[in-house]
Each structure stands twice: as structure tokens, then as C-alpha cells.
């Protein structure tokens, strides 16, 4: 799978750790930065990645900041994005099954590397259930269209 990944300085170390796992598992990675621990502004990186996912240039994305919250706020401004902050394997599974989340947001200051890796694997390997959940995703799309027109 082609996956985009980005972080701010607070998520940099976790990003690098998860990148190695993704590459070992055969995924094609598009790393949008940051590339060191120097302080940066998370909206810049969230926007770059969300745009790629929104345009279909990568299938899914991973964003990492201190908590994951700031990244999710920015990413969810883009059409077609359903960015979910996940802090457990259960929230990761539910974000995929019920919400068809296409961007995973993680907290580099909240999660240990091993926890984040488990969350990532569950998120990548859980399918969208569709059914009643598809109806809800369609409603989200209608809201996005309405907002674009106004």
C-alpha cells in the first residue's frame, strides 16, 4: 500500500520508528517530513499529507504530533478526509470499521513505540464494514459538498 507519513518535531522519533516497520512490511512510504527534531508547526505537515490523501495520491496517511489532536484538526479540513486520533488497538479498529478513517493520528508524547506499532498494524489491517456505516459516510460527504458550495 502507498502510505503517506508526516510529523512535527514532537512526533519525529515515532515517525522514524513506524516508517521502518512499514517498509519492512512492504509498504511504499511517502515521507513528508519533518526530518529532524527542530521545532516546526504541525499544520504545515498535516496539510501536506491530507492533500495527498484527499487527491488520492496515497491510499492512507499517518500523522504524528505530540497528542495527534492538532494534526487531526488540520487534516479533517480537507475534503474526503476522515482523520482519527487513536490511542488503543480498539480505537484503531473502530475508526476503520465504523468510520473508514483514511488518516491515522498518533501522539508521539502519549504512546510508546511498541503501543503505536500495534495500533498501526490494527488500523492497516482492519476493513471498513460498510452497511449502516456507509450511510453515515455518505452523509459526511454531503455535508462536505454543502460547505464547499456555501
Catalytic residues: 65, 98
Residue recorded with cell 473508514: 100
H-assigned helices in the chain:
12-24, 42-54, 69-75, 89-97, 113-125, 132-149
d(CA 5, CA 46): 9
Cα separation, 34 vs 6, in Å, equals 7
Amino acid at each position: 500500500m502507498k502510505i503517506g507519513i508526516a510529523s512535527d518535531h514532537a512526533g519525529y522519533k515515532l515517525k522514524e520508528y513506524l516508517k521502518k516497520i512499514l517498509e519492512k512490511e512492504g509498504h511504499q512510504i511517502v515521507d513528508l517530513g519533518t526530518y529532524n527534531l527542530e521545532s516546526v508547526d504541525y499544520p504545515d505537515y498535516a496539510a501536506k499529507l491530507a492533500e495527498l490523501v484527499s487527491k488520492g495520491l496515497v491510499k492512507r496517511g499517518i500523522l504524528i504530533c505530540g497528542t495527534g489532536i492538532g494534526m487531526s484538526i488540520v487534516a479533517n479540513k480537507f475534503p474526503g478526509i476522515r482523520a482519527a486520533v487513536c490511542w488503543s488497538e480498539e480505537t484503531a479498529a473502530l475508526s476503520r470499521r465504523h468510520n473508514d478513517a483514511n488518516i491515522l493520528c498518533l501522539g508521539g508524547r502519549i504512546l510508546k513505540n511498541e503501543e503505536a506499532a500495534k495500533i498501526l498494524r490494527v488500523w492497516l489491517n482492519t476493513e471498513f464494514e460498510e452497511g449502516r456505516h456507509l450511510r453515515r459516510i455518505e452523509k459526511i460527504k454531503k455535508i462536505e459538498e454543502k460547505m464547499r458550495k456555501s
